[in-house]
Each structure stands twice: as structure tokens, then as C-alpha cells.
Amino acid sequence: MNRNDSKNLPPDPIRAQVAQAYGTLVERAAPALSPSALGYTPEQMLDVPRDAADHAFGCGNPLAFSEVQQGQVVVDLGCGAGIDLILAARKVGPSGRVIGVDMTPEMIVRARQNLEHAGVQNAEVREGYIESLPVEDASVDWVLSNCVISLSPDKPKVFAEIARVLRPGGRFSISDLVVSEMPPWLRDLPVLHNACIGGAIDEEAYVEGLRCAGLSEVRVVSRQAYDAEQIAALVASGEVIVPKDLPEAIVRAGVEALAGKVQSIKVVGVKAG
């Protein structure tokens, strides 16, 4: 198999909900955390278009824990408005290539515009799902992702896709949210799912999922627990998509129940040769 066809995936209400939400957010909202709070350095942000920085809906800086080199091929899962595409394109240089994959048309348009504004010529954006990447088998040196896999309704497929597209010896660096002891009633709140919380799994399951996909040397290199204020900021960043009939008290109770249980992690690993 050379390329997966995302059009073959069956319709999924969660996927549709997330696409609609982020199509709205990129037009009307700013993220909860600034690039500096996510771990991007002032040097990295030089010449990054303001729009890419203002719509960095991530939870970390996956490039901070990678060793991306000149001439390599990088895939960014759920590239959004393109901040990590631009930074990866600088690292791989003219002899390398960066591929962004996103399912939201509004994000794809924005990412392509930001690449053009940044003068990046060695990166492209492809429409597709991270559960069925439009990328050839064993063609990639690095897979990056920034707070996107937690949104997926089928994480094992995502992990399998990472293993499929990586070359032997290829590596991945992922920033994402994990949640311990999620109260079951919270998983049904769309606002928490769109904030990358409702669909998150615990760290042990995340790491084991990557290992079960055939990836090796999987380890978490960084963790940051979110307090109630930070979780509230994540939810507030998506306030344009909070259902009007959802009582504020329900959202507040959810935020308080999750304090200290939501963590931003950075996980790395390799596809064995």
C-alpha cells in the first residue's frame, strides 16, 4: 500500500464535530495558551506569520524534543494553521520536505496562506484524516503532532498510521493531552472534547498504544499538570462552540473535577529498523 485514502473512512460524528469546531475557531478565536507558554522560543518565532502564532491550538512544542535534521522528510499530523510546518521546514532546509495533514478546510487554507507568507517552499498541506494519512508507506523520517491525537475517535488507527509512514529508524515527537481518572459524564461534553480533553486517554494507555502499533523506545520526556485555571482557559478558548443550552455550572463542575488530572505530555519513540 502506497497511500491511504481518507475518503474511505466511514462518517464519524466526533470527527465531524471537531472539524466544524476548529473551522469556526480559526476564524473567530485565539488559543488559550500563547506560543511562549507552549514552549516556543523567541528565536523560533522570528518571521513566523502572526496568524500562525495566533492560531497555534497546541499544548506544547514537539520540535523542542526532536532532532530533525537537514534533508529529512517530516509529517505533521493535524497541522492546523501551520506553526510547526514553518518551524520544521526551517530545520530540514531546501533539501528536505515537510507535509502537513489536516481534515478541516478552513485550517488547510490558513496553513497554505501562512506558508506562503513565511516564504516556505519546501512544505505542503494535504487534506486527510490522521487515521488514514495521505502519505506513502515508509517514506518519512519524522512524525510530529501537537495536541491532535487526543481528538481522534480511533487512536489505535492513528498510532498504526504513524508506524506505517515512518521509515525503519524513523522517529516521532508528539505533544498531547492525557487525562487520569476522567469522570464518565465529562466525556459526553462536546466543549471538553473540542478542547482536547474529553477524548483524551491516560498516559499509560497512550504509551502502550504506540508500543502496540510496533513502535519502540517509547517514553514520555516531559509532563505538565494543568490546574483549574489552565483547564478553564482551554475551555474558554472554544467558547464560540459551547452549546447555548449548556449550563455554565456544568462546565465549571467539569473544570474543577479535572484539576490536576489533565497533563500535557511530550512522548517520543522510534520505528525499529
Q: CATH number, domain at 57?
A: 3.40.50.150
Q: Report the distance separating Cα 169 and Cα 76, nearest Å.
A: 18
Query: What residue ranges of the chain have pLDDT lower than 70?
Result: 1-33, 65, 185-195, 236-248, 250-251
Name 251's Cβ contacts closer than 8 Å, sequence gap at least 6: 189, 191, 235, 242
Would you state the pLDDT for residue 30?
60
Q: Structurally, how many domains does the chain consist of?
A: 1
Domain assignment present for 1: no
- Whether 179 is in a domain gets the answer yes
Which residues, other chains included, contact 121 with Cβ-Cβ below 8 Å and sequence gap of 6+?
A: 94
In a domain, 90, yes or no: yes
Which cell goes with 196? 482536547
Residue 55: domain span: 6-271
Q: 86 is written with which cell numbers?
A: 514553518
- Predicted TM-score (pTM) of the model is 0.86
180, part of any domain: yes
Give a yes or no: residue 243 inside a domain: yes
The verdict on residue 112 lying in a domain is yes
Pick from 168, 144, 29: which is nearest to 82 by CA?
Answer: 144
The answer to whether position 252 is within a domain reads: yes
Cβ distance 30 to 237 under 8 Å? Answer: yes
> Among residues 73, 109, 103, 106, which one has the least CA distance to residue 88?
73
- By CB neighbour count within 10 A (0-12 exposed, 13-18 middle, 19+ buried), where does 230 fall? middle
Per DSSP bridges, beta strands 73-77 and 140-146 are parallel
DSSP result, 38-71: TT--HHHHTT--HHHHHT---SS-GGGG----TT
Alpha-carbon distance of 226 to 145, in angstroms, equals: 20
Q: How confident is the model at residue 55, as a pLDDT? A: 79
Report pLDDT digits (tens) over 195-235: 677 788 999 999 999 999 999 999 999 999 989 888 877 77
Tell me, yes or no, whether 207 lies in a domain.
yes
